[in-house]
Amino acid sequence: MIRQVLCFCLLLLPCTKLVAQGVAVPGDTCKPVGVRTQQIGCWILADNPVGQLTKPQVFWHLDTYPTRLAAEADKGPRGTVVESFGKVWLMTIEDEKWRSAHGNRIATIGPLPVVAGEKYSAQFMEADFTPGMMAPSHLHSGPEAWYAVGGETCLETSDGRMQISRVGGAPVIVPMGLSMHLTAIGTAERQSIVIILHQSAQVPTTMVHDWTPKGLCQARK
């Protein structure tokens, strides 16, 4: 019965990850793409080390390619190739002026604030939420940002701010340690490619139980 309840929860909104025995444990709000059985949800595409970052800020570069082989040929030491929303992407963490050799530049998002001298990993996810769907309150051991492919997202953070993310709009960047709660708003599915640039020695995501959102996004549904 407990297993059935937990599985039902996962169909409704991203929850804590499950161990093999079906018990919920603190951790990621998303599941590995290898266990994906439906379109809706939050799916981890990759989680790769990018090494020690020597500057206090970096940028996330998004390029598309006609084939995975072409993207892999352009990939550098801080690059990751993923397939999402029908496209092949090369995701690269570098300085602002970095450019790929042959990719089609889609976006450059940043600056992403980091701790200079720390080792980081880049976790990339595909988020596909139906309108009204929410992610539970959580925080990250590094900045989170996302590129909107479709729909709208309302974000409330523990510093009292509310931000709206939509296609063609300004990027949303959430600094390390800031609690957050997001809701898919509007009438279209929220489709986003997400990065958590987390410290490699720490878990990317921690669920939050000592902060209650004020409901700033409720009127936006």
- Nearest Cα neighbor of 133 from 75, 86, 189 is 189
Which pLDDT score, from 0 to 100, does residue 191 have?
Answer: 96
Q: What's the rounded Cα separation, in Å, for the pair 95 and 106? A: 16
Helices (H), the chain: 2-12, 68-74
Domain boundaries, the chain: 2-220
For residue 147, the model assigns a pLDDT of: 96
Q: How far apart are CA 184 and CA 217, in angstroms?
A: 9
The CATH architecture assigned to 2-220 reads: Sandwich (2.60)
CA-wise closest residue to 195 among 109, 99, 134: 109
**What pTM does this model have?**
0.85
List the pLDDT tens digit at each of the 221 positions of the chain.
Answer: 434 333 333 333 343 332 222 222 333 468 999 999 999 999 999 999 999 999 999 999 999 999 999 999 999 999 999 999 999 999 999 999 999 999 999 999 999 999 999 999 999 999 999 999 999 899 999 999 999 999 999 999 999 999 999 999 998 999 999 999 999 999 999 999 999 999 999 999 999 999 999 999 987 66
Burial state string for 60-86 with b = 16 or more CB within 10 A and e = fewer than 16: bbbbebeeeeebeebbeebbbbbebee
3-state secondary structure of 3: helix
Whole-angstrom CA distances from 42 to 80, 109, 159 are 18, 20, 25
Query: What integer pLDDT is reported at residue 49 of this predicted model?
Result: 97
Residues 180, 158 contacting (CB under 8 angstroms)? yes
User: Please, what is the end-to-end C-alpha distance for the chain in angstroms?
Assistant: 32
Residue 104's DSSP bridge partners are: 64
Token pair recorded at residue 37: 């059985």
